[in-house]
Structures are given as structure tokens and as C-alpha cells.
Amino acid sequence: MSKRLADADAIVFNFPIVAWKRRLVEPFATAALAKLKRKRVIVILHEWASLDWKRRLILWPVILLADAILFSAPEVRREWLESHYPIGKKAIAVIPIPPNLLPSGHEKAGPAALAIRALRAGGRTIIGQFGSIYPKKNCAELLAIARALVDEGQDVAVAFVGSFIKGMDNVEEDFRARVEALDLGDRVMVTGYLSTDEEVFAACREVDIFCYRFTEGLTARRGSVLAAALGGRIVVTNTPADPAGLEHHTLFQSLIGNGNIVLCQHDADAGAMANAIRDAIGRVPPPLNIDAEITSLWNAIIGKLEGVQSAGQSKTRPVEISG
């Protein structure tokens, strides 16, 4: 790490980290080394209030050493400020997070994609979700929406492109029980974990319409929504709780403006979401220059990073970066 820091102007930490219990000391040691070498330390927080206090405690020493704190969404910034942690002289800003998956456009159908295709037998419309299955994602909401569509006479099936989060009690059992309770047993499939981007997007291309109903509404942290929309399919979801929650993220704004993401009311119920899906069946969003959109997004990210680099020298506590 010492050699890698020698050629860097700054080190950027993305928190929280995976497998944090096995990496209790490493982040702080790296941040301390960076400060000793007079390098800037930048922390990007993707979560805060939802983190267990023990995880926050592990992050705190690194945050104390940071020159700037960036937040992946306005609500994370708000959670941080409301927690009243002393931060000293630091620049803070909200920064757009780029998609972590991008389609190549040349994906070949693998076993998961073929299984979804088989579910389409007889002309069914496939609605679905991409991403891990866990309670906070409200995956069971999609089952209720599917039931509403079936009751209206729509022949739909549901494909979940992803797997159940391990270590959470009864997640899969509760999910399966909900499927049976709604009498959707022959209409629902879960692909399981897909290890490559090609497998993911090949499977996603077999889904006609994606749908998510989040308790907090759509937020800029929902990479699964970005991936589904970038795959060329319409995503139906509910509006953010904060009307300004997506203003900093030009890619989300473009996808909404182009019709790739269709927004329902924040408190839309299963029936309203089902109506939006029914209206979207057969629609194809106009082509969008994804390369140009990604370039624009990265320019915004670089601009934010440059902004905190210069503002960090200010004596204001804290320094709020906008624009």
C-alpha cells in the first residue's frame, strides 16, 4: 500500500465495506499511512443511520482522519448531519454513484435466461426484479402486484434475477410461503446467484418490465434499478420520499425523462403499481446514448472530487459543496 500511495494524490474509501468483521484495522491503518504521507483522505458513505452501531464505531476513526466526506444520496447526508457526530474541518458533498454493471449488448442466453424464457411459454408477460432478495427491498410487494395483475386477467409470471441474502433468518422460507399464499407457485422463479455481468444482462433481457416498490421510494443508491433500466427494459417504481432525492444524479434523471424509468406516486399501492405495469406492456423506450450519459455522469463525479479537494482547505466547519 505504501508504494501505491506514493503515486496518488488521495485515497478514497467507500463505506460500508463487505466482510467488515475481518477488516477491523485495515481501513484505519491505511488512512493513517495516507495522512503520514501527506495524502488526502476522502470517505464516501453509502449508508449511515441503517448501519449497526458497531459498524459505525469501526468507521469512525477513518472518518476522523478524512479531509472530505461524500454521500451517495441526500438522505445519507441528512442522516449523517442529524447524528451530530463532531467532524471538525471537512468538506462535505453529495456525489452521484455510477452504475456498477453495464450491458455489452452482446450477451448470450445462459441457463438463467433460458429458464425465464421457458416461463414465458404461452405468451406470458414477465415482470421481475434484479438484485439480492432481502426484506428491506420489499420483494414480496412484487408478488402482491403480480397477484393483482392475474386477478385482472393479465397472464403474467415473475422472475427474480438474483439470490437470497444468506445469514438473514427465514428470508427464503418467508418468500416461498408468500408465493404459495398468493397461489403463484407456477408463476414465480428465482435464478439464484449469477457470477458475470453477461449472465445478469442476458437474464434481464428476458424480463419485459421490472418493478420495485420501495418503502422510501426510489433513491440514487438503487443500483439494481439502474442496471435494469440500462438493460433496455422499462422499470416501474415509486417516487422518492424527497422530491430532490435524484437531482444530483444526471443518469437517473435521463432514464426517467426518456421513459426507461416510470414513476408512480410515492405511496402507490399494489393496484396502482399493477395499473402502471399494464400501461407499460408492449412499450419500448426510445434509444438513449448511454455512453454519453455515462461520460456526463463521470464528469459530474470528477467535478465533485475536484470541488472537495479545493474546498477542504477552507476553515469553514463543515464546508458544503453544491452544484
**Residue 316's pLDDT band (cuts 50, 70, 90):** very low
Average pLDDT on 12-27 reads 76
Q: What CA dihedral angle connects 123, 127, 131 and 132, to 10 degrees?
A: -90
Most confidently predicted of 6-10, 92-96, 233-237: 233-237
pTM score of the predicted model: 0.87
* pLDDT higher than 80, residue 176: yes
Closest residue by Cα to residue 232 from 257, 199, 207: 207
Helix intervals (H) in the chain: 2-6, 26-36, 53-65, 74-83, 111-119, 139-151, 171-181, 197-204, 223-230, 250-257, 270-280, 290-311
Per-residue pLDDT tens digits for 105-134: 788 899 999 999 999 888 999 999 999 998
Q: Which residues, 6+ apart, have CB-to-CB distance to 110 below 8 Å?
A: 198, 199, 202, 203
111-288 maps to CATH 3.40.50.10860: no
Average pLDDT on 56-76 reads 91
Q: Which residues, 6+ apart, have CB-to-CB distance to 122 below 8 Å?
A: 155
Closest residue by Cα to residue 98 from 301, 241, 288: 301
**Residue 95's pLDDT band (cuts 50, 70, 90):** very high
Count helices and strands in the chain by DSSP H and E runs = 12, 11
**Residue 19's pLDDT band (cuts 50, 70, 90):** low
**Domains of the chain: which residue ranges?**
2-96+296-320, 111-288
Dist CA 24 CA 20 (whole Å): 6
* pLDDT higher than 70, residue 55: yes
